[in-house]
Structure 1
Amino acid sequence: MRLFPLAVRGALLLVLTLAALMLHQAGARSVGSPVRTEIFVAVLALGGVVYLETIHWALRHRSPQQAIWVVLGMALAMRAALIPAPFLLSSDIYRYVWDGRVQAAGINPYRYIPADPALARLRDPAIYPNINRAGYARTIYPPMAQVVFAVVGRISQSVIAMKLAMLAFEVIAVLCMMRLLSMARLPPERVLIYAWNPLVLWSFACDGHVDAIAIGCLGLALLSRAKRWDGVGGALLAAATLVKFLPIVAAPAFLRGGSLWRPAVAGAAVIALLYGLYASAGAHVLGFLPTYGSEEGLNDGSGVWLLAGLGHLVALPHAAVTIYLCCAAICLGAVALLIARGRWAAPEHDVVALCRDTAILAGCVTAVISPHYTWYFAWLALPSVVAPIPAILWLSVSPVVLYLDPFNDRFIWPGIVYLPAAGLTLFSLWKRHAPRAVVIAASEGHPK
């Protein structure tokens, strides 16, 4: 029975998750000593290898119907182990809880920095001391995220409550992808592509990153678009965008073969409504966002992988970032135009094309901005459930190695992530366009 090999792989991922968790040194604000951190990342990387091998196996074998319960059971077990854990890799969740607390007190979260005397009465020894950038940065999180923080803050102002809220959005995403798999006539156990992804697990179940809200909204948006509910899909995509701005890049996939005005109007209405809720903050409604690019090296190019590499070879001109962005915009615009001009086919193929195009757009934009933070890559696993693309799958899990930065350099170590992704992309393009006989010969190792 092919259920046993799947269960063994899931159990191995669970063991590796527990092993990585046990490396945490009690009382440490991260994993612990440098040696512990290195071992921790090695274990996560091994988990990534097991995960990729599991996908390779699952895509080539049809499992019995009970396989979905193994997938969901293991996914739940891994998350149950991580949710009670202290933050290991990021303290962002304390800002989420703080923003919820501020709103529960009837205060606009964009108005003050946490250290402002006006908020002194809200400080406590559990949340406030752990807020990063508390002394100089207003919240950076867009309005949809703030709505969720506000709801959770009125129920419980604890880290566990916020993590459970993120888990709820993950559940929504998984259910949506299972429905999309059914519509595409694909095996439901493929949802493990998202549910067992180690980067997803540690980003959301352990650190509770806000990206989980965006992923839940994106899952709903994809399902709505697959059902041809254009306006609903546009509204939900806008909601996902106002959690983390990156999902807006999926818009061409939502417009493919469908109407323009319904999703555009619905999306614009959602954006106006959500920003309107916090309009009393005036220009501060953008929070820390205008300064964030400078802090992360996006304004001068030092935080962009390709530009950081070029900077090792030559002195970059002041216009390097502008030139880079213009070239990227032209290339991405061409890809978006090709996708948007596509046509709908049979329903099951429409679902695959929708997720494939979303994955391509998401992967391209994520690679262009080359984030330094690992959780920015986690959303790539969602559309990959229906449309697995080797380069996108690699980008969705390999950034676990970026928890380390042994060279303190934005090019050398991140090359472990981006160079194989580029290679996989080129190979996929060659395989798609090369004569079939040549591809078969190459795969067999016999040139003709």
Structure 2
Amino acid sequence: MDPTSAEPVPGAGSRFTPYLLLTGLIAVGAVLLWWMVLPGNPYDPAPVLGSCVSWLLLIAAVRILRHVPRRRIGAVIIAGTVLLGVAAMSAPPRTSNDSARYAWDGIVQKAGISPYSFVPVDETLADHRPAWLFAPGTSGPDGKTLCPDDLFGTESVAASGFPSGDPLCTAINRPQVPTIYPPAAEIYFFAVRLAVPDTLGYLPFQLGGLLISAAATLMLMRVLARTGMPVHLAAVWAWSPLVQLEAVNNAHVDVLGGALIVAAGMLLASGKPLRSGVAFGAAVATKLIPVIAAPALLFKRPAHFTIAALATFGALYVPYLLAAGAGVLGFLPGYLKEEGYSQSGGIRFGLAQIVSAGPWPLLLSAAALAVVALVALRTTNAGNIWERQTLMIGLTLLIVSPNYPWYALMLLPFIVLSRRWEYITVILALDVIYMVPSGIPDKDMINKSVLLAAALAVAVAAWLRYRARFVPGSITTDWNHQ
């Protein structure tokens, strides 16, 4: 459904009606969000249901928001963002403990130690361990470490101290390996933890996620206003369950990478390729995966853009390279192997697995990605940059099919700017893949079904737009002008 279109709100002649309706919807959304992140709530057995209801509330709220006077829309969006953000920050991270690693990397850097030099279980750094991240474990009958599930307010990971082998519990996933995060992310981790004591838990990164998402909201509003598009569409980003759950509650650093890609697009569209390259280089040095946005950013003075991006990326790595040498690669090689990016299997390259087996899903997916990148590279210009970014990022996520919905934090801003709402189905598909428990029957079939449904939604929307443009008298919906 296109949130830019709506029937007149009953009673909209009263200037207070839209505000009352919005207040009610946002309040309901905040309560639902609080319920979703509250530990031990009934959301656990069916997490996808809560997300779907939140998306429906978002559609209703955005439809009503268009009736608010334009001069007040910004204030209303930010007020709603703060209310939802407070609800999202009311509990520890609900479905991911990645921010525990962020905190540890920041704490280690405060002590003047490279995060690439030691693994979290290394007892060399035992004096820097806060109680909300580490606790002694107990040995079970089989010698394995036992950890209470609610020890840290989020997932507990059983480990052993190195080199003693003593039972150890931690909130950090993969505590036996070095960090995977690139230097721009590490600088962010350091900056956030530098401002707070080590004893303060998850809240600093949750607040950081809220502030970055709010900054991205302001950028979106600026682009929408400058291009004559409805400013209220920025709420699709600001109030979305994706942002509130993944950028704020789970505090994923991907929101920083996404904001930097938006900044790179804005700067390039404004005729500033060098500054755009700097922003893009910083985005890639935050999470690496933003590199998929490159083909749609090379339409204006690509040499200047590329040199600036590479120089920024390299400059950010220099201090960490000097401190840790080749260790700056961290767990990246092992992660790529563990996640199956070098082979077919699991849900990786799920669409291609529907039609092929063996080595072919990987090869077919690589070919499809090359075609998408070539189309973006050859057809992007200042007038369609947002549409091509949506195409490039959205189809890449669909083809590669990662397990993690927070990767879509770099897709949603471009969905808003391009109004290609069908790509929200990609976000929902990643949600289902991540949130449906792995132990249920037919999990693999469910994963591939939602990917196929998202692919069909994108394909049908593209076909309808083609008919609207090239077939005289065709009956279809021109979503860009409603």
Shorter-chain TM-score: what band? 0.7 to 0.9
Task: Encode CA deviations 1:113-146: one digit per residue, 9 max, x unaligned.
Answer: 0011221111121123543335411111111100
Aligned counterpart for 2:445 among listed residues 409, 412, 416:
412
Aligned counterpart for 2:457 among listed residues 405, 421, 424:
424
Give the gaps of 5 or more residues in structure 2.
1-11, 135-168, 478-482
2:118 aligned with 1:91:
no
Aligned counterpart for 2:422 among listed residues 379, 391, 397:
391
- Determine helix, strand or coil for the equivalent of 2:228: coil
Q: Tell me how far apart the structure 1 counterparts of residues 64 and 451 of structure 2 sit (CA, whole Å).
A: 25
Task: State the partner residue of 2:301.
Answer: 259
Task: State the partner residue of 2:118.
Answer: 112
1:312-327 to structure 2, matched below 5 A, reads 316-317=357-358, 320=359, 323-327=360-364
Q: Tell me how far apart the structure 1 counterparts of residues 452 and 368 of structure 2 sit (CA, whole Å).
A: 19
Task: State the partner residue of 1:45.
Answer: 52
Deviation at 1:5, TM superposition (A): 4.8
Task: Letter of the 2:50 partner, please give it.
Answer: V
Deviation at 1:243, TM superposition (A): 1.2
Task: Letter of the 2:191 partner, please give it.
Answer: V
Alpha-carbon contact 2:47-2:435 (below 8 Å) kept: no
Task: State the partner residue of 1:28.
Answer: none
Task: State the partner residue of 1:342.
Answer: 379
Task: Letter of the 1:188 partner, please give it.
Answer: V
Task: Encode CA deviations 1:216-254: one digit per residue, 9 max, x unaligned.
Answer: 212221221121110111111111111122211111221
Task: Letter of the 2:188 partner, please give it.
Answer: V
Give the 3 Å change call, closer, same or farther, for CA 140–6 of structure 1 in structure 2.
farther
Q: Tell me how far apart the structure 1 counterparts of residues 64 and 395 of structure 2 sit (CA, whole Å).
A: 26
Alpha-carbon contact 1:328-1:368 (below 8 Å) kept: yes
Identity of aligned residues (%): 26
Task: State the partner residue of 2:345.
Answer: 302
Aligned counterpart for 2:40 among listed residues 19, 32, 37:
32
Deviation at 1:149, TM superposition (A): 0.8
Give the 3 Å change call, closer, same or farther, for CA 100–24 of structure 1 in structure 2.
closer
Task: Letter of the 1:392 partner, please give it.
Answer: Y
With normalisation by structure 2, the TM-score equals: 0.80
Give the 3 Å change call, closer, same or farther, for CA 261–58 of structure 1 in structure 2.
farther
Task: Letter of the 1:431 partner, please give it.
Answer: L
- Determine helix, strand or coil for the equivalent of 1:124: coil
Aligned counterpart for 2:69 among listed residues 57, 64, 67:
64
Aligned counterpart for 1:73 among listed residues 48, 69, 79:
79
Q: Tell me how far apart the structure 2 counterparts of residues 227 and 308 of structure 1 sit (CA, whole Å).
A: 37
Give the 3 Å change call, closer, same or farther, for CA 58–254 of structure 1 in structure 2.
farther
- Determine helix, strand or coil for the equivalent of 1:385: helix
Alpha-carbon contact 2:273-2:305 (below 8 Å) kept: yes
Task: Letter of the 1:252 partner, please give it.
Answer: P
Task: State the partner residue of 1:369.
Answer: 400
Q: Tell me how far apart the structure 1 counterparts of residues 443 and 349 of structure 2 sit (CA, whole Å).
A: 9
Instruction: Indicate the structure whose relative CO is greater, using CA pairs within 8 Å and at least 6 residues apart.
Output: 1
Alpha-carbon contact 1:305-1:414 (below 8 Å) kept: no
Task: State the partner residue of 1:124.
Answer: 130
Deviation at 1:426, TM superposition (A): 1.6
Task: State the partner residue of 2:9.
Answer: none
2:285 aligned with 1:245:
no
Q: Tell me how far apart the structure 1 counterparts of residues 18 and 343 of structure 2 sit (CA, whole Å).
A: 49
Alpha-carbon contact 1:6-1:54 (below 8 Å) kept: no
With normalisation by structure 1, the TM-score equals: 0.85
Q: Tell me how far apart the structure 2 counterparts of residues 78 and 298 of structure 1 sit (CA, whole Å).
A: 35
- Determine helix, strand or coil for the equivalent of 2:445: coil
Question: RMSD across aligned C-alpha pairs, in angstroms?
Answer: 2.7
Q: Tell me how far apart the structure 1 counterparts of residues 352 and 40 of structure 2 sit (CA, whole Å).
A: 31
Task: Letter of the 1:43 partner, please give it.
Answer: G
Deviation at 1:327, TM superposition (A): 2.9
Structure 1 residues 73-82 or 14-23, which shifts more?
Answer: 14-23
Deviation at 1:390, TM superposition (A): 2.8
Deviation at 1:103, TM superposition (A): 0.5
Q: Tell me how far apart the structure 2 counterparts of residues 369 and 108 of structure 1 sit (CA, whole Å).
A: 32
Task: State the partner residue of 1:141.
Answer: 181
Task: Letter of the 2:417 partner, please give it.
Answer: V
Q: Tell me how far apart the structure 2 counterparts of residues 217 and 7 of structure 1 sit (CA, whole Å).
A: 35
Deviation at 1:17, TM superposition (A): 3.6
Task: Encode CA deviations 1:361-414: one digit per residue, 9 max, x unaligned.
Answer: 110111122111221223211112211213312223454443232627663232
2:283 aligned with 1:277:
no
Deviation at 1:339, TM superposition (A): 2.6
Alpha-carbon contact 2:119-2:175 (below 8 Å) kept: yes
Give the 3 Å change call, closer, same or farther, for CA 394–307 of structure 1 in structure 2.
closer
Give the 3 Å change call, closer, same or farther, for CA 10–366 of structure 1 in structure 2.
farther
Higher helix share: 1
Task: Letter of the 1:254 partner, please give it.
Answer: L
Give the 3 Å change call, closer, same or farther, for CA 355–14 of structure 1 in structure 2.
farther
Task: Encode CA deviations 1:241-290: one digit per residue, 9 max, x unaligned.
Answer: 1112221111122112x111111110110111111121132222111111
Give the 3 Å change call, closer, same or farther, for CA 416–82 of structure 1 in structure 2.
farther
Alpha-carbon contact 1:91-1:207 (below 8 Å) kept: yes
Give the 3 Å change call, closer, same or farther, for CA 127–390 of structure 1 in structure 2.
same
